[in-house]
C-alpha cells in the first residue's frame, strides 16, 4: 500500500466570476434591476478522463419596490463517479445609498450527492468503506453575503456553503455541523477606469480563503470597447492563465467565453478548460445607460 495525498478545490472553479456572482454571493440577487437569466457551462481539464464539468442556471430579479431581490440557482457538477445536483434560493435586502446600492443576502438550499459505485471494479468487495458509503444523500446548506455596487466600482463579501458534512464510516451517514474552521470566505471587487471616450479598463479580483488551504486569488483585467466588446486576460494563483471574450449583443443579451490553462506540471497532461456563459435581461429597466452586469 502506498500513501497518497489528495487535494480538492475549495469551491467550483469559474473563470467568469463576474457573470457568475450569484453562485457564491446571495446578496447579488436583484442587482440587474430586472429579471435576469444566466446559463454557464464549464468543461475543465480537457483530455483528462472523468474530468470535472459544471452546469449552472441562475435566475434573479428585484421585486417591484426594488428593496428586495430574489434568486434561484440550479447547479450540476460531475467528476468521475461522483455527481452533485444542487438547488438554492437567495434573498437579498437592498438599500439605496447616495452613490450606490448596498445589499445583504442569505441563501438556502440542498445538494444531492451521488456516487456510482457500480462503475468501479472493486478489488475487495467486502471493503467496509464501499458497503457503508451511501450511493445518494441530500444535504442542506446556507450562505451569507453582502454586495455594494455603483457605476464605477463594486465590492462583495460572502461565506457560501457554511455547513460541513462529515461522513461517519461506521453508520455510512452524513453528520451535519457548523464548523467555523471549514468556512470559505470570498472577497470580490473591481473598478472601471476610463481610458478614452469609448474605451474603459476593468481590473477585478476574486480572493478565496479556507483555513485549511492556501488562499486562492483570481486577478483579471478587461478592456471594454464601446460597451459592446470585452477583451481580457487573467491569472489564478497556482499557475493558471486565462483569456476572455465577452460580447454585449444588444441591451438584453450577453455572451462570454473563456479559456484557461495550467502552466505548471498538470498542464502537460490536459488541453485546458473552456467556459461559456449567456445572460438575458428581460424588460431592461436600468437607470443608467451602460448595460453593465453589476
Strands 36-43 and 53-62: antiparallel
Q: Which domains does the chain have, with CATH numbers?
A: 17-281 (2.40.160.40)
Q: What distance in Å separates the CA atoms of residue 173 and residue 167, rounded to the nearest whole number? A: 6
H/E run at residue 277: strand 273-281
| List of residues 6+ apart from 94 with CB closer than 8 A | 30, 62, 66, 67, 68, 69, 101, 102, 103
Strands 229-236 and 173-177: unpaired
Task: List the chain pLDDT tens, one digit each, 294 residues.
Answer: 333 333 334 456 788 999 999 999 999 999 998 999 999 999 988 887 778 889 999 999 999 788 999 999 999 998 877 889 999 999 999 999 988 999 999 999 999 988 776 666 666 665 555 555 666 788 899 999 999 999 899 999 999 989 887 776 666 677 788 888 889 999 999 999 999 999 999 999 999 998 888 899 999 999 999 999 999 999 998 789 999 999 999 989 999 999 999 888 777 778 889 999 999 999 755 544 344 544
pTM: 0.86
Strands 153-159 and 136-149: antiparallel
Amino acid at each position: 500500500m502506498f500513501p497518497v495525498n489528495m487535494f480538492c478545490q475549495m469551491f467550483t472553479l469559474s473563470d467568469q466570476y463576474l457573470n457568475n456572482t450569484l453562485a457564491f454571493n446571495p446578496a447579488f440577487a436583484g442587482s440587474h434591476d430586472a429579471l435576469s437569466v444566466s446559463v454557464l457551462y464549464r468543461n475543465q481539464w480537457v483530455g483528462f478522463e472523468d474530468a470535472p464539468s459544471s452546469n449552472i442556471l441562475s435566475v434573479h430579479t428585484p421585486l417591484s419596490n426594488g428593496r428586495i431581490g430574489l434568486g434561484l440557482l440550479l447547479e450540476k457538477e460531475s467528476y468521475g463517479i461522483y455527481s452533485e445536483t444542487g438547488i438554492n434560493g437567495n434573498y437579498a435586502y437592498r438599500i439605496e445609498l447616495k452613490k450606490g446600492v448596498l445589499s445583504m443576502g442569505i441563501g438556502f438550499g440542498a445538494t444531492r450527492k451521488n456516487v456510482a459505485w457500480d462503475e468501479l471494479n472493486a478489488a475487495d468487495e467486502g471493503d467496509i468503506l464501499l458497503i457503508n458509503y451511501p450511493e445518494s444523500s441530500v444535504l442542506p446548506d446556507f450562505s451569507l453575503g453582502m454586495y455594494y455596487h455603483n457605476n464605477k466600482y463594486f465590492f462583495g463579501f460572502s461565506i457560501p456553503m457554511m455547513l460541513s458534512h462529515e461522513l461517519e464510516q461506521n453508520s455510512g451517514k452524513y453528520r451535519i455541523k457548523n464548523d467555523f474552521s471549514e468556512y470559505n470566505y470570498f472577497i470580490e471587487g473591481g473598478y472601471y477606469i476610463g481610458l478614452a471616450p469609448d474605451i474603459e479598463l476593468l481590473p477585478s479580483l476574486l480572493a478565496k480563503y479556507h483555513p485549511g488551504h492556501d488562499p486562492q486569488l483570481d486577478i483579471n483585467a478587461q478592456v471594454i470597447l464601446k460597451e459592446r466588446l470585452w477583451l481580457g486576460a487573467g491569472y489564478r494563483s497556482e499557475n493558471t492563465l486565462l483569456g476572455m471574450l465577452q460580447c454585449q449583443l444588444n441591451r438584453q443579451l450577453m455572451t462570454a467565453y473563456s479559456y484557461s490553462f495550467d502552466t505548471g506540471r498538470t498542464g502537460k497532461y490536459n488541453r485546458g478548460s473552456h467556459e461559456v456563459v449567456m445572460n438575458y435581461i428581460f424588460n431592461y429597466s436600468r437607470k443608467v445607460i451602460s448595460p453593465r452586469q453589476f
